[in-house]
Copies of this chain bind each other. A is one copy, B any other.
Amino acid sequence: MREFKKLTPYREALRLVLDDLKEITDVEEVSLDDALGRVLAENIVSPIDSPPFDRSAVDGYALRAEDTFQAREYRPVELKVIDEIVAGDESEARVGPGTAVKLMTGSKMPEGANAVLMQEMAEREGDVIRVLRPVAPGQNVAFAGEDVKRGEVLLRKGHVLRPQDLALLKSVGFRSVRVKRKPLVGIIVTGDELIEEFDEDAIRAGKILESNSVMLRGLVRQYFGEPVFYGVVPDDEERIRNAIETAKGECDIVLVTGGSAFGDKDFAHRFVKLLFHGTTIKPGRPIGYGERVFVMSGYPAAVFTQFHLYVKHALAKLVGARDYEVRVRARLAEKVPSQLGRHEFIKVRYEDGVARPIRKKGSGIISALVESNGYIEIPEDSEGYLEGETVEVSLY
């Protein structure tokens, strides 16, 4: 049996992948409702000022600040309320000396007024208010363009759209937005040992229920992609070759699980000109990449690791996504030793500022993935971390 001649360092392998892939240029125009979670294809520039006019930031009375400069609690200033407006309406009144206009948060400032007195600060009797303290010019006024200026970049290319972003876009007049096409991700699962349906006898005889495909479809959807499943292919040279060729022709990238090592039945890597094969990551060392094809491990936990360390970043590169990871600082609950020369992926449970390593080992151990909600990475040149050390956790 052959072994990997050379283990490519993780960072170098990742760079080879990212340098090889090109950002998708296809753009789709989608309604704002369909844009949640999609990646902006271009900078969004505001076509208008927001607010489009000076407006009140509180419920209260629009007035001339200078009229209130002499106001004291023991010597209130009295102003006459000449009009009352509500949001969306507009007062025709002009605020002159000694007068005020009642308005609400969001109301357009009436002509002549330059400040707003908060309702709670005014004593009202009939159509007169008594002002007890001076109001500064501009106080409680939201000036035109204060939220957003016409021509200002609201959101940048590569931004992943959230509900509040959609609100901002809608509030300045957009009804649709241009986003990147979702990359098509071909998924091919290989292995004679795999079965699709529960069969107790088969399982006792050593067969394994295939679980990579459902996991990868979910992960691909989480990270901007559209999965295309090409089924479970037995360890047959010709059939694997055909599946890879078909998927390469139809998809932006292809994920093949199984066949990444050097067993007699590991065919997948023979049909792809790999830029590297075998890396320093653990678990998940046997991975190769070339010609837009990832040849991955067959073991679910290793596939999960390889997805997060390579494929996730590849998908982000394809759509140009920024800020697609949630990384948090945490105190390590116990020490995590690591072997020099390995880039380790350590599953952790993050809670209340503390990261607890999930100790279960073995690349087939799915329950450890389930217990964890994130991972830490330990690069090749580190012997690990001490208990209590601050580490960076990538949440998933």
Q: Taking beta carbons and an 8 Å cutoff, which residues of A are in contact with B?
A: 1, 3, 32-33, 36, 47-48, 50-53, 57, 59, 86-90, 104-108, 119-120, 142, 146-148, 154-155, 162-168, 170-173, 175, 191-194, 197-198, 200, 203-212, 214-219, 221-222, 261, 263-265, 298-300, 304, 323, 326-330, 352-353, 360-367, 369-370, 373, 390, 395-396
Contacts and interface: CB of A to CB of B under 8 A. Distances in A.
A33 to B, nearest CB: 6
Contacts of A366: 50, 147-148, 164, 167-168, 171
Contacts of A373: 323
Contacts of A330: 329
Given A52-B203, A107-B206, A163-B218, 12 more contacts: A1-B119, A53-B206, A57-B361, A90-B206, A148-B366, A167-B214, A167-B304, A171-B366, A172-B209, A175-B197, A327-B352, A329-B329
Give how many copies assemble into the complex: 2
21 contacts: A51-B364, A52-B204, A53-B206, A59-B261, A86-B264, A87-B298, A88-B207, A104-B263, A105-B364, A106-B298, A106-B299, A147-B367, A148-B367, A162-B396, A163-B218, A164-B300, A166-B215, A175-B197, A323-B373, A328-B328, A353-B390
Nearest to A32: B214
Contacts of A166: 211, 214-215, 218
A155 B370 contact: yes
B191 A87 contact: yes
Nearest to A57: B362
A326 B323 CA distance: 16
A284 B218 CA distance: 36
A108 B206 contact: yes
A119 B286 CA distance: 15
Contact of A206 (B88, B173, B212, B261): B88
Nearest to A221: B36
Contacts of A265: 86
A330 B365 CA distance: 32
Please indicate which of the listed interface residues A146, A168, A206, A298 has the most CB atoms of chain B within 10 Å of its own CB: A206
A309 to B, nearest CB: 15
Contacts of A164: 215, 300, 304, 366, 369-370
B173 A198 contact: yes
B209 A173 contact: yes
Nearest to A205: B90
A365 B57 CA distance: 10
Contacts of A367: 147-148, 154, 168
Contacts of A163: 214-219, 222, 304
Given A264-B86, A396-B162, A167 B208 contact: no
B167 A105 contact: no
A200 B90 CA distance: 15
B142 A364 contact: yes
Contacts of A52: 203-204
Nearest to A120: B3
Given A206-B88, A218-B163, A222-B163, A370 B168 contact: yes
